[in-house]
Copies of this chain bind each other. A is one copy, B any other.
Amino acid sequence: MEEMEELFAELAKMIDSGEYIQLKKELNDMNPANIAEFFEQLSAEKQLFAFRLLTKDMAAEAFSYMDSDTQEHIVKSITDNEVRNIVDEMFLDDTVDFLGEAPANLVNKVLRNMDADKRNLVNQFLNYPDNSAGSIMTIEFVQFRADMTVAKAMEELRKTGLDKETVYTCYVLDASRILIGVLPLRTLIFAEDDMVISQLMEEDVISVQTLDDQEDIAYIFKKYNLISVPVVDKEGRMVGIITVDDIVDVIEQETTEDMEKMSALLPSDEAYLKTSVVALSKNRIVWLCVLMISGTLSGLVIGQYENLLEAAVVLSSFIPILTGTGGNAGSQASTTIIRGMALGEIEISDIAKVLWKEIRVGLLCGSILGFVNLIRLTLFSSKTNFQVDFTISLSMCFVVVVAKGVGCMLPIMAKALKFDPAIMAGPLISTVVDVIALLIFFNIAKVLIL
């Protein structure tokens, strides 16, 4: 990492001092991902200067690694001719990614520099729903016919393969473009020249459909350890491939989304430091408001027991510890279940097993916490008598059991009702558990103290 920063500093110096021959050589020797990182640190003007030193190939490749701000600035500043060069060289999925984020005037600038065929294709891709297979696939794949010989296939591959996103899995299509087999490149290169593709291909093809959800596709990649997967339309015609590098991004994006939902945030794709205060607040205020208003329920419960609290005001100082512990115990259970469901380890049909397990965990944890609490109060709390100490400790135990139960049930029920289980996490669980905890506490107190 430090070496990289030194290199970047050196390159920046070359820009300043105008050593552009040396700079050009250095840049075109670099990894495109690193060029992109370097560009993101440059001022707009310098970006443009340095970009024009890149070879055509490298410019397109580095461009596809850049963040959307840098991409937009470059497209805004370069000529139509330069745009055409980039678009010609870029893979279709990277072009579509860029266009999906870019403002309308830039989208137009890019589209008018494409030939009509590609433009139609791009428009079609931009119309696939977010998070569908169609929205993340690319069309650069290697295709063979079943009756080709190995020699002929290798010749095809040599002719066209360098432009393809992955040549390591080749696809066999019939005359109406129906996918009928796959052929790993390793099989092809280890085969005799006169063998025929249909003898070599695997017919048992794992494929996905254009409208399949990206999360399900990620699951398939993990299950079968895939590097790429073919995408077919409803009629079984092959339209594209999805490669594992895009799936890695999908997995990150989906987990970020889950974490956001679990913390009562609306999901957002933007990087934090680039998001405005208003946009951040918008993502947060909705749930804060909903939870605040549902939180008034616990206020109402407390209001109902005002007489009790007036008689023993000391009880009110135990409200936070009971609701807090309940919330924590519930969050633990809900996170465990939400993650387990996301990883496919827990199904809706496991509901009874899960509940029974959580109740036992709740009893064990609750008893320990109640006991610890009782000792602490008896030893260190001079303000409370044993009756109060016992009330609080017994409530603690009950609250934990109920919190575990609620924490594990709500995510499963959400999934059964086709909601995202991730919303049934910490914040919402705490709000629900708060009310129950208070009811348990006050009712035990009424019996034991009044």
Contact = CB atoms under 8 A, between A and B. Distances in A.
Given A154-B189, A340-B272, A317 B289 contact: no
Interface stretch (A103-111, A123-131, A323-331): A323-331
Q: What interface size band does chain A fall in?
A: 35 or more
Interface in A155-185: 157-158, 161-162, 167-168, 185
Contact of A277 (B29, B292, B361): B361
A419 interface: no
Interface of A: 29-31, 33, 37, 154, 157-158, 161-162, 167-168, 185-186, 189-190, 204, 206, 221-227, 244-245, 247-249, 251-252, 255-256, 258-260, 262-265, 271-273, 277-278, 280-281, 284-285, 287-289, 291-293, 295-296, 298-300, 302-303, 306, 309-310, 313-314, 316-321, 323-325, 327-329, 331-332, 334-337, 339-340, 343, 345-346, 350, 353-354, 357, 360-361, 364-365, 368-369, 372-373, 376, 383, 396, 400, 425-427, 430-431, 434, 438
Given A223-B33, A320-B295, A263 B332 contact: yes
Nearest to A333: B284
A415 to B, nearest CB: 15
A265 B325 contact: no
Nearest to A336: B272
B189 A350 contact: no
B316 A298 contact: no
- Most chain B Cβ neighbours within 10 Å, of A319, A346, A350, A372: A319
Contact of A331 (B278, B285, B426): B426
Nearest to A322: B295
Contacts of A273: 340, 345-346, 350, 353-354, 357
Contact of A248 (B251, B353, B383): B251
B365 A288 contact: yes
User: Which A-B residue pairs are the 6 nearest by beta carbons?
Assistant: A302-B317, A263-B335, A225-B245, A298-B320, A316-B316, A295-B321
A308 to B, nearest CB: 10
Contact of A324 (B206, B298, B309, B332): B298
A336 to B, nearest CB: 6
A285 B368 contact: yes
How many copies of this chain are found per oligomer? Answer: 2
Given A306-B313, A331-B427, A364 B291 contact: no
Given A245-B225, A328-B288, A299 B281 contact: no
Given A288-B329, A325-B295, A430-B324, A225 B33 contact: yes
A346 B281 contact: no
Contacts of A227: 227, 244
A189 B189 contact: yes
Contact of A361 (B158, B280, B298, B372): B280
Contacts of A372: 289, 292-293
